[in-house]
Structure 1
Amino acid sequence: MAEVVASKSPSVSLDEFKASILKNGIEAAASTHLMDRIPHVFDNDWELYRTWKRKLAKLIEVDPLNVTIIGSGGIGFSLNPYKDFRPFSETSDIDVAVVSEHHFAVAWRALRTLKLPDVRNNKDREAIKEHRTNYIYWGTIATDKVLHYLPFVRPWTEAVAAMAGERPTEEREIKIRLYRDYDALRSYHMNGLEALVATLMAS
């Protein structure tokens, strides 16, 4: 007997996303269209997405269910108003959300104990300060900005390189954002949506 696959949200347009926010609210829109969907880049191929997640999850030692593609690769367009909500394209990055309390705790400790005077690169120093004052508050770590200061730098660097060779994310830059738990994942994106709702509705 063929396996029954749970239905996931099909691709959504920017206008449909705005209508969803107006009708159902930010929390429902964030859950349905940002997290509980087959990502746009997978062209509604659930099995390919599931296989892709299993490969990445194994490489970074997390459960496949804790891996989600967000950003324009997930919904089909950027939610950054400064990027004019531009559609996902051949040059777009792949933004991945990974929920792992273990990795978050390890990363948090590494960033907390790091001595800023030892960080000579100004860009890295500012990224670490931003994590301490902003990202950590929301239970998230942007590993593409600070990965080389984290204990799991080698396996995660090798993982994103490997997944950049897998269909359909080949030759794309893959960025992982680490979340402490699902509440942090949802809250972070809801906060972002609240900040741009006025711009979104006026576009």
Structure 2
Amino acid sequence: MDGARQVVCEFFEIGCLGSAKVEYFLNVIFGAYGMTSDDFVRVLQEQGVRYVYSHCLFNNEVHIFEQNFPDEHLFKYQEFKARVSDVLGVSLQNIAIVGSAKMGFSLTPGRSYEPFDEDSDLDLIIVCPALFRELWGGYFDYINSFTGRSYSDIAKGVFRHFVSVKAEEVVGDQLQYFQSWIDKVDGLRLQLQLEFKLPMEINYRVYEDWKYVDKYHMSGLSQL
């Protein structure tokens, strides 16, 4: 450990921070943005689910932006949210990247913190009651049509007050029920791919309220 890092380390330890938090802050200060999965596990064990949720899951350090834009990742992430906000009419504060694109590894229970790679999707949270109702209305009309499929998966999400939408899977008979949504996200997808180097599929999870985001992710963290 070099001299400057040693001094900072001793400063934090004097302040009685846990070892995982010390290492995390050192990584940020000295340029190793974000957490490794090992760092994450230590912080989760030492600080608990509430701390990890509040300090790690929804900060502005996003793995895919640190990877694509190491010198301006914070600015680029804000620009990304601004583009989404303009198209969907949702406040920047109600838009967030989650999952492996955010952390650099999966937080899905049972996946052993699989690293983010070229085959990974980008999971995007949108919190907007009006958009939630619009998309749920589309699903409701679709499943009550003659061509509607089983709605068990949709119902599981709605029970948790979110609707998951992957634009690439809205095809055939579903199109008429989601045309407004498709019109918005088709152009947005191309813009995000070109401007932010994001060729992967984007999964939109639209929540009715932030309290349901809290419940869903706190529950997931407690299973790790």
Provide TM-score, normalisation by structure 1. Answer: 0.78
Partners of 1:117 and 1:108 in 2: CA distance: 14
Indicate the structure (1 or 2) with the bigger Cα radius of gyration: 2
Shift of the alpha carbon at 1:65? 1.9
Partners of 1:161 and 1:143 in 2: CA distance: 17
Alignment match, 1:60: 88
State the secondary structure of the residue aligned to 2:204.
Answer: strand
Shift of the alpha carbon at 1:158? 2.7
- Kept in 1, the 8 Å contact 2:108–2:220? The answer is no
Alignment match, 2:103: 75
Q: Which amino acid aligns with 2:196?
A: R
Alignment match, 1:41: 64
Shift of the alpha carbon at 1:108? 2.0
Shift of the alpha carbon at 1:74? 0.3
Q: Percent identity?
A: 23
Partners of 2:109 and 2:143 in 1: CA distance: 35
Aligned positions of 1:1-203 closer than 5 A: 10-43=33-66, 45-116=73-144, 118-119=146-147, 125-126=149-150, 128-132=151-155, 134-144=156-166, 148=175, 149-150=177-178, 151-169=180-198, 171-194=199-222, 196-197=223-224
| Unpaired segments ≥5 residues, structure 2 | 1-24
Q: Which amino acid aligns with 1:161?
A: L
| Unpaired segments ≥5 residues, structure 1 | 1-6, 198-203
Partners of 2:144 and 2:110 in 1: CA distance: 31
Give the alignment's Cα RMSD to 1 decimal: 2.4
Q: Which amino acid aligns with 1:166?
A: E
- Kept in 2, the 8 Å contact 1:41–1:168? The answer is no
Partners of 1:74 and 1:190 in 2: CA distance: 16
Alignment match, 2:5: none
Higher relative contact order (CA 8 A, sep 6+): 1
